Amino acid sequence: MAFSTWKHIPAAGDAPAFRVFEGHLEKPALDDRQYRLLELHNGLRAVLVHDQAADKAAASLTVTTGNMLDPDDIPGLAHFCEHMMIKASDNNPAQNKMCQFISANGGIRNAVTGPPSTEYWFSISPTALAGGLERLADLHCAPLFTESLTAREVNAVDSEFKRNWQNDVRRVLQVDKTLSIPGHPYSKFGTGNYESLTAAGRRLGQDVSEEAVLKETRRRLVEWWKNQYCASRMMLAVIGKESLDELTNLVIPLFSKIANRGLDPRPAFKNDAWGPEHMGTVVFVQTVKDYHAFSLTFQLPDLREHYATKPASYLAHFLGHEGPGSICAYLKKRGWLLDISAGVSGSSRSVQFFEISGRLTLEGYLHYRDVVRAVYSYIALLRASFPLEAYHFDEVKTMAETRFRFKEKAQPHKYASALAHGLAEPYPPEWLLSGAYLYREYDEALVKGILEGFAPGRGRIVLEAKEHRAEVMGDDVVWETEKWYGTQYAVKRLDESFHQDLGEPKKNEELHLPAPNPFIPKDLSVDKIDPAKYPALIKRTEKSQLWYKKDDQFWVPKAYVKIDIKTPLAYATPRLAMLTRLFVDLVEDALAEVTYDADLAGLSYSVINQIEGLTVSVGGYNDKIHVLLRTVLDKLRGLQVHPDRLRVLKEKIQREYENFYMGQPSGLSECYATWAFMPTIWTPAEKLLELSLIKESDVSSLRDELLSRAFVEALVNGNMTRERAIEILDVAEQSLNYRPLVPSEIPRQRSLVLPPASNVISRKRHANPKEVNSSLSYYLQFGEVTDVKLRTTLAFIVHILREPCYAMLRTEEQLGYVVACSQWSINGTVGLGVKIQSTRAPWYTESRVDAFLEKMSERIAAMPADEFATQKEGLIVKTLERAKNLGEETVRFWGHIRSGYYDFVKRETDADAIRALTLAEVIRVYDTLVRPSTSAQTRKKLSVHLLSQQLHEEPPAPGPPTIVLSEADTGSNSSDTRTALFKSGLGCAPAATPVISAAFGEHAPAFDFYRPSASDASLVSPGRNHTALVPGAGTGPGPDTESGGAP
């Protein structure tokens, strides 16, 4: 950094002195924002961003103090400090005032503790940025570490730990940390729990009281905060509509008050975390879920100063490659590998590792030595290939430059977070924006030096499995137990013969370096046109319809293509649903090698099975998008099913479906609640009954029948002409070569409708006997999404409940770490949901939700007019928030299209309705559909109780109107039968009907038929029951979209 590029600004009045950077920041070509870098007199660094078009402001404060600086005797103290910091300050002593302010003004906030740093961020209405910054600064000037808050947040950290206690990623990571040099900062237990945070207090004596223990915890916290939090360790990023001078005048007086204690601004932890005894080993780890995985990890040298060459990331390009000749392709052909990844883990200021990892099949696990041999053979191939041909680096460099040049805007809080972290990196200030992206030069000697360190004696192999085989582990195995998570693991040194094999691997003729990438884009030109609000229906036939919009605001050489292939066969029976999932997985598996180059060149694709059929998506630089689309569609129509790949993917799906029931309780209960409103749902367990019966000929037959008759609906959005968009639809129709469906065959999702006075409880047991948490999903069905008044009143109710729900049920009552209130949309019906994951029984947490909803009715009724206006304005800010990039815009358009409503101006309609909303209307809906004491005859409630097997408490006897569907009492098969019978007695709402607009153009008459107005069944009219629920294909918290880990 050149000191001459910084200008000193002397103190003026109440404003302290500071420095401003006067050099030029390297920016993406599309970035029209203005930037200013500051250094305050106390050492705090800040980047200010003026964005005239911002509809959300944001700020992020990163402190270069994380859990690697925890005291040795109080693991988790940095994380505990983060919890305490965001609650109150001397100037705002009432708890959660900052959270309340941000929520009321349409914002969100969070804080995260990592190994080298801690981050505090928020986004907010642009008009409220000053108030948000004032509160953020107050929290860091004088946080209020009260004794009452200490007790609550110790429990909150403990609840967070219990949420993750059965999480395999956390468990394996802590084993890895345990197997490092004792006392090294990397070895610490960063999350913390009750035991670790109160350890210092409990050492005061056996008879010490709980109060005294927590007082000691608080004393040590305050002491640690004073020793580790410091203005010179703080990096601030602020994004707002204000000018740079206005932002400067906001930031300087507020953040100059934070004390500078003279600490090292960027503490680093670069000493080796592993000694000789930790390398050249194989670690066997027992997992909670049933899967097989491997990793091969090497320590990296200090690479902080090599941001211009990025040597480790360059090596990851080869070792994580998935194209022909790669480790991935070779191992997949053997039937040993499901996927692979390679790259650098850890911050530049902490210990860094290079890891090659992947999920294995059972055969791959049994042949893990051959898997590792293949990796070392490729490493040997790389060493022997120096000097590497120039195109390898040129392609990596070119694509990095292209990505940076056309880098689009992101959500403000995410961008602020990235900027704040960038300030902590060693880049020169000119490269703050570009430093993480660009490869500026090639240093082959450095790359070779790192590769030389990838030797058997310096690596660590980790094998993960639920049950380890004796033939894999060998003799003399000593199992140990990790202290915090209780994970079982065993360590063995590489035997001499295996070590020698890896050090001198035989040449593998099937491995070779990547060939030149044919997908690198050449044409990056952009045609600019006048803006339009939404896509237009430009073609409609009995076989298909095409929506199209030319990019008119983001100006990137990109496009996105979405194609729905609708067919009733895809989900007609559990067997057909299972076959369709296998078909999709086989297509993606067959395309993996061919399409990896496209992925490197900024293109992506996916094929997903849905209830309505298949969805094909292609996106990225438009120059080669048609080539990729044709490749995908041809494979879809012409897939050849190979028995060995079918066997591998059947094993993968079986483990995935079985592991589904071992997931987070809160996620599972949300999923079960969503399924309760879907007329037809095939669970993973039901589909697994069909899996073993499926042969390759069955998949081939399904392929032909599934694609023989269909209806295609497509969206093309981006840098593409109307004519090119029509050509893309033509390509789809020609490749698929299908006949049209009869209109009544086109699948349309619908929702079940609970009758008024419903009080349904569904109880199930969690499959994991060691899971300590139970979960409640509490859902109140409101009505149809087409009822504008109803949906916006619901949105307002959720808006004002969200923060108090968290504050009362999580912070004050300490029910659990996962507490949230949200708006649900299930196939076009809308409602209010509350979820709680807790060690308490779900019937108890449900009683607390009822009490909370009752209490909030008083607060709503007494809401002052100015607060009501502020809350409405905050919700309007959220509602009208614009898409920040072409991808976000495409997701919005596609959501409207897939829903069947095509309501492209829904946000503007809702904003107008929120402005017109009165407090009386809110109270009337709340009392009719939410408040327990006044809505017994009108509200429609379903709750799912997912019970921990460690919960032995008996549920209370239900009241007369309650229907209980209890697996815990009757067994899973009977429960499924009772649930099916219950659902069969419910009414089913109509399918979605289009909201006609100018988007339909000349095709509008085909869609515009009479249908009742939503206001005809308005729920807000006193004494009337709202049962006309009109759903579409919206998604609730647990949709049955079968991609990846979905059921």
| Residues noted as catalytic | 82
Dihedral sign, Cα of residue 741, residue 742, residue 743, residue 746: negative
| One-character DSSP codes across 876-944 | HHHHTPPP-SHHHHHHHHHHHHHHT---TTHHHHHHHHHHH--HHHHHHHHHHHT-TTT-TTT-EEEEE
Residue 264's contacts (CB-CB under 8 Å, 6 or more residues apart) are 233
Kind of pairing between the strands at 488-493 and 281-286: antiparallel
Tokens of 267: 């503490």
What DSSP state is assigned to residue 953?
A: P
Residue 721's contacts (CB-CB under 8 Å, 6 or more residues apart) are 527, 550
38 beta partners: 20, 46
Q: Say if residue 249 is exposed, middle or buried (CB neighbours under 10 Å; 0-12, 13-18, 19+).
A: middle
3-state secondary structure of 946: strand
Quote the CA–CA distance of 633 and 637 in Å, as a whole number.
Answer: 6
What DSSP state is assigned to residue 689?
A: H
- Nearest CA to 105 out of 795, 873, 955 is that of 873
What count of residues does the chain have?
1047
Quote the CA–CA distance of 60 and 233 in Å, as a whole number.
Answer: 14
613 phi/psi in degrees, rounded to 5: 150, -130
Q: Say if residue 210 is exposed, middle or buried (CB neighbours under 10 Å; 0-12, 13-18, 19+).
A: exposed
Using the CB atoms, write b or e for 563-599: b if 16+ within 10 Å. bbbbbbbbbeebbbbbbbbbbbbbbbbbbbbebbbbb
Quote the CA–CA distance of 709 and 698 in Å, as a whole number.
Answer: 18
Tokens of 763: 């109880």
| One-character DSSP codes across 555-608 | --SEEEEEEEEE-GGGGSSHHHHHHHHHHHHHHHHHHHHHHHHHHHTTEEEEEE
Q: Contact 946/842 with Cβ under 8 angstroms?
A: yes
Quote the CA–CA distance of 986 and 978 in Å, as a whole number.
Answer: 13
54 phi/psi in degrees, rounded to 5: -65, 130
Tokens of 729: 């639809």
| One-character DSSP codes across 881-900 | PPP-SHHHHHHHHHHHHHHT
Residue carrying structure tokens 């929520």: 103
- Nearest CA to 925 out of 825, 777, 795 is that of 795
CA distances for 153 relative to 97, 170, 179, 192, 816, angstroms: 16, 21, 30, 11, 11
- Nearest CA to 666 out of 826, 848, 850, 822 is that of 822
Q: What is the dihedral of CA 483, 488, 493, 495, to 10 degrees?
A: 170
944 phi/psi in degrees, rounded to 5: -110, 125
